[in-house]
Amino acid sequence: MDEFAPDAAEPGPLESPPPPAAEPAAPVRRRTWLWISGAVVLIGLVIAGVQLWANLAYDDADEAFLHARVAAAPPTATLIAALHGADTRTAAAQALDGVSTPELLGPENRAALAAAAEGLAKDRADAEHVGLALPGEPAKKPPVPWELFVQASDLRDRTTALEDRTADQVDAAQSLNDAIGGIDALGGSILDAAHAAVPTIEKASVDSRFAPIVEMRKADDEVESSDKRLDENATASLLRLDRAVVAVRASAKSELAAKAGPLYGTRRKIEAYARSISGGVLLEFVWTDRLLGQGAGQSGAGTATWDANDGGTSHITLTNSIARYWPAEWTRALVAHEVGHSISAKCYEKFDWENEHANELWATAWAMSWGYDPYPAGADNYGMPPKSMQEAAKTCR
């Protein structure tokens, strides 16, 4: 039997061919990863979008709040100033209750001032409740979206509250300033009325020594020159004027008491005459029985000193004999001569005021300018004044 080995066994009639090889699974895995990757990208985009949205929302809220905070500063400053003004006016009005002179502050104005001060104090208390503190700056910006959204909402609420408060501050300041304007107007009218009353007060107290009158005039000038706003300066001026008026009246009363006696009425007439020709120079009088060796019988004498300060002031001393023989021509001429010295306070530049004899010639010329005979006017003692001085004396009134 021959032996051989076939190269490849052929299938027998009962054998089937092997099945085809299965497809590899790799394509399925690639589709899954692509889906997952896409989802991750989408989630990342959503997160980024939310983060952006949260940042923008916070930034808008932060900007609005900071703008409201800046805008709140001027109204706050205005309200603070109004509150200070209200405090000033209330204190000034209360201080004026210390004015005792009815001519300076009458019952009607006193009551109106008290009512205005009470109303202003109430408005001030209401305005203070609005609030003045400037809100703090926002906290540090948070990093995560949910905190950004929360803080943005809080900033929006704070912005609304701040804007509402700012509007209330504007209204409160306006209300306060209106009330302040009203009390200033009332204070101005009180100051004007006080200033207008001073000439009448001075005229009624003409017998006062001139130092209190000078002080009253200075206090009155201070009242008159004030800006008519009821502040501490105006109050101080009016209180000073009130004290001066009290002093003037006390001085006048004292002077009149000192002049009491048999010649009281005549002395008052002589002093009134002297003041009527003194050109506004303030005069003080002293009466004595003897002066310069004169005063007995039908003799009399007088002296005068003068000062150009404070509008002109002068001390005149006269003997009682002048009052006994008033209104004899020589007594009137003698008084005019002494007032001629007094009025030098206004007209000293018209003659050589540093020369003693020139002063006497001037007083003589000035008495002559009122129509008095030269000799009783002073020429019998000091000589006749030159024509130029006589003409100059006529221009001094």
What's the length of the chain?
397
Confidence of residue 33 (pLDDT cuts 50, 70, 90): low
pLDDT of residue 246: 98
Nearest to 281 by CA among 216, 365, 347: 347
From 5-9, 82-86, 313-317, 327-331, the region with the lowest mean pLDDT: 5-9
Question: What mean pLDDT comes out for the span 38-63?
Answer: 75
CA-based R_g, the chain, Å = 51
Burial track 96-112 (b if 16+ CB lie within 10 A, e otherwise):
beebebebbbbeebbeb
Q: What is the pLDDT of residues 210-256, one digit of tens each?
A: 999 999 999 999 999 998 889 999 999 999 999 999 999 999 999 99
Q: Is the pLDDT at 45 greater than 80, yes or no? A: no
More confident residue, 341 or 51: 341
Judge whether residue 8 has pLDDT over 70: no
Residue whose C-alpha is closest to residue 393's, from 378, 381, 380: 378
Rounded percentage of the chain residues whose pLDDT exceeds 70:
89
Residue with tokens 């009425």: 265
Q: What's the confidence (pLDDT) of residue 154?
A: 86
Mean per-residue pLDDT of the chain: 90
Q: Confidence class of residue 20 from pLDDT cuts 50, 70 and 90?
A: low
Q: Give residue 1's pLDDT.
A: 39
* Residue 120 pLDDT level (bands cut at 50, 70, 90): very high
DSSP conformation class of 104: T
Band of residue 7 on the pLDDT scale cut at 50, 70, 90: very low
313-319 and 302-307: which strand pairing? antiparallel
Per-residue pLDDT, 37? 66
The first and second tokens of residue 298, run together, are 């039908």
Q: What is the pLDDT of residue 2?
A: 42
Tens-digit pLDDT profile for residues 175-221? 999 999 999 999 999 999 999 999 999 999 999 999 999 999 999 99
The identity of residue 334, as a single letter, is L
Res. 91: pLDDT tops 80: yes
User: Residue 150: pLDDT above 70?
Assistant: yes
Q: Are 340 and 362 in contact (CB under 8 A)?
A: yes
CA dihedral (272, 274, 280, 285) positive or negative: negative
Lowest mean pLDDT among 81-95, 139-153, 329-343: 139-153
Would you state the pLDDT for residue 320?
A: 97
Please state, as a whole number, how many other Cβ atoms lie within 10 Å of the Cβ of residue 168. 16
pTM (global) more than 0.75: yes
What is the rounded distance in angstroms from the CA atom of residue 104 to the CA atom of residue 198? 8
Helices (H), 205-231: 210-225
* pLDDT attached to residue 300: 97
